[in-house]
Amino acid sequence: MIIVGLTGGIGSGKTTVAKMFSALGVPVYIADDEAKKLMRTSKVIKRKLIALFGENVYVNGDLNKPFIANIIFNNEQVLQEMNAIVHPRVASHFEKWANKQTSAYVIKEVAILFENGGHKACDYVIAVTAPKQLRIERLLVRDNSSEEKIEAIMKNQWTDAEKVKLSQFVIENVDIEKTRNQVTAVHAEILKKLSKS
Ligand SMILES: CC(C)(COP(=O)(O)OP(=O)(O)OC[C@H]1O[C@@H](n2cnc3c(N)ncnc32)[C@H](O)[C@@H]1O)[C@@H](O)C(=O)NCCC(=O)NCCS
Ligand SMILES: Nc1ncnc2c1ncn2[C@@H]1O[C@H](COP(=O)(O)OP(=O)(O)OP(=O)(O)O)[C@@H](O)[C@H]1O
């Protein structure tokens, strides 16, 4: 199966772009959603997360997100330990999912693709970009978050320039209609590349 990674910084519009690919009939895997599902349901992951963070990591059986976020986005060591527990499970879950798809290619949306070396398992990578200030403004509206928390998350992520250098496709997501046109063009280009290979 041909795997196209879709990545971008927090608030760049990855999910917005992923939905546009989905509307074109491309199967889309949202790694973050699946990671959170596994963190809620896998006994092995739950046990390891409790060992790492303590009992407060779950509240009434659900993930205690503010508690986790407050720790991991201020402590890179713990962030990496959590990722080492969760991400290998997501990788095998993705593989099973991808093997069931029958389309020309699939999209794998991952917020931290390059940062974790996940791009090496992709045939192509699409980077979604948007100016930092615009991303912050979107998140302040969407999440009722603080600028401080957003900056803390951004510190753990590569810059757009670094991601663009290693990506085969770039979608600049500022004007939504222009974004839609870029998605259509990238989809056509990928299909063309695949028909030649
Ligand atoms: C840490 C958690 C609890 C924070 O939840 P919260 O609702 O506050 O934020 P949200 O989920 O919207 O994430 C905000 C941003 O943080 C970044 N981020 C999230 N998880 C991670 C991670 N494991 N490593 C690095 N950055 C991350 C992403 O850019 C994301 O867009 C949550 O993100 C989580 O459970 N993450 C683990 C799942 C995971 O690893 N996802 C990353 C992609 S596989
Ligand atoms: N081109 C755009 N014009 C206006 N608003 C947009 C545009 N693209 C995305 N948004 C809005 O910005 C917010 C962030 O977009 P989205 O959730 O797609 O980003 P993301 O990269 O997936 O975020 P995260 O990294 O937090 O998962 C959403 O509220 C979305 O509706």
Q: 173 in a domain, yes or no?
A: yes
Q: 84 in a domain, yes or no?
A: yes
How do residues 131-190 score in pLDDT, each as one tens digit? 999 999 999 999 988 999 999 999 989 999 999 999 999 999 999 999 999 999 999 999
- Residue 107 pairs in a beta bridge with 4, 28
Q: 197 in a domain, yes or no?
A: no
How do residues 97-132 score in pLDDT, each as one tens digit? 999 999 999 999 999 999 989 999 999 999 999 999
What is the CATH number for 99?
Answer: 3.40.50.300
What is the residue-averaged pLDDT of the chain?
96
Q: Whose CA is nearest to atom 29 of ligand 1?
A: 10
ipTM over 0.95: no
Atom of ligand 2 nearest to the CA of 111: 25
Query: What pLDDT shows up at residue 61?
Result: 86
Q: How many domains does the chain have?
A: 1
The amino acid at residue 71 is I
Q: 165 in a domain, yes or no?
A: yes
Establish whether residue 83 lines the binding site of ligand 1, counting it when its CB lies within 6 angstroms of any ligand atom.
yes
- Residue 7 pairs in a beta bridge with 127
* 194 vs 192: CA distance, rounded Å: 5
Query: What pLDDT shows up at residue 107?
Result: 98
* 179 vs 134: CA distance, rounded Å: 15
Q: How far is the CA of 156 from the centre of ligand 1 (A)?
A: 11
How do residues 30-50 score in pLDDT, each as one tens digit? 999 999 999 999 999 999 999
How do residues 81-96 score in pLDDT, each as one tens digit? 999 999 999 999 999 9
Q: 34 in a domain, yes or no?
A: yes
Q: How far is the CA of 169 from the centre of ligand 1 (A)?
A: 24
Query: What pLDDT shows up at residue 181?
Result: 98
Establish whether residue 111 lines the binding site of ligand 1, counting it when its CB lies within 6 angstroms of any ligand atom.
yes
